[in-house]
Amino acid sequence: MTDDRMNGSAQYPGYDVLAKRNTPSWNDATRTAVDRRLAVTREPRFFDKNEFATLEAICDCIMPQHPVEGSAAQGPVPLAAYVDEGLFLGLGPGYRNAQLPPAPEAWRRGLAALDAECVRAWGEPFLRLAGDRRRVMLERMQNGALDGSEWGDMPPKLFFKQHVVTDIVTAFFSHPTAWSRIGYGGPASPRGYVRMGFDERDPWEASKATPGKEARAARENKRV
C-alpha cells in the first residue's frame, strides 16, 4: 500500500497534461479517448451500492490521493468507478491466473469474504472500520493471513496481488490526473516521442524540478 507522498505534483510544478488537448501533440482520436476517460460515471454499474462503497474505501487505503493544484482533470481519480466500468464492460488483459475465477466473480467473492473476515475480527464490515483497522485487514490479505471459508478456493494473497493492487493502481495511472503528477505527456499520437535515451526529454514533455530550480521547471511546464 502507498502513502500520500507519491501523489504530490511538486516534481512537475505548473504541468497539466490536459493543456495539450488542442495542440499538435494530440489528434482527434487521442482527444476522444481522453474525453471518454474523463467522462466515466461515478455511479456503479457492475457492483451494488454497498460493494461499490466498500471498494471506494479499499481504494482510499491502497492509493490515497490529493488533487493536483491547477489541473483541469479535477482529481482525485475515480478509482472505484474505473474498476467498476472495466468489470461492467468486460475489459481486462485477456488472461488470468488459473487459481483465480474470472475477474467479476473474483471481485464479488473477494469483497464478500473481506467483509466476513472483518465481522469476525472486529464485529463490523470493512466499510464501518476505522482507517487503521482497514489497513490491518488489507495487510492480512496481502500476507495471506486470511483463511475464512468465504474465499472458497481463491487464495486471498493472490486476489490482493492480481486484482486489489493491480486493478486499482492501473486505474490510477490510466487517468490524466496521474499523468500530470508523473510528467507523462499522454498518448503519443500523432506527435510521438523522439528523444528515447536515458534522461532525455523532448521539448514538449514535462520538465522535472530539481532543488533550487523549481521556478524554472514551472515556467517550462506552462510552455509545454
Q: Kindly report the pTM of this predicted structure.
A: 0.87
Give the residue from 15, 23, 21 showing the smallest Cα distance to 68. Answer: 15
Amino acid identity, position 41:
T
Give the pLDDT confidence score for residue 224 in this predicted structure.
Answer: 73
The range of the structural domain enclosing residue 148 comes to: 4-223
Condensed to tens digits (0 to 9), the pLDDT of residues 81-98 reads 999 999 999 998 899 999
Condensed to tens digits (0 to 9), the pLDDT of residues 114-144 reads 999 999 999 999 999 999 999 999 999 999 9
Residues forming a β-bridge with 129:
none
pLDDT band at 188 (very low <50, low <70, confident <90, very high): confident
Query: Which grid coordinates belong to 102?
Result: 474470472
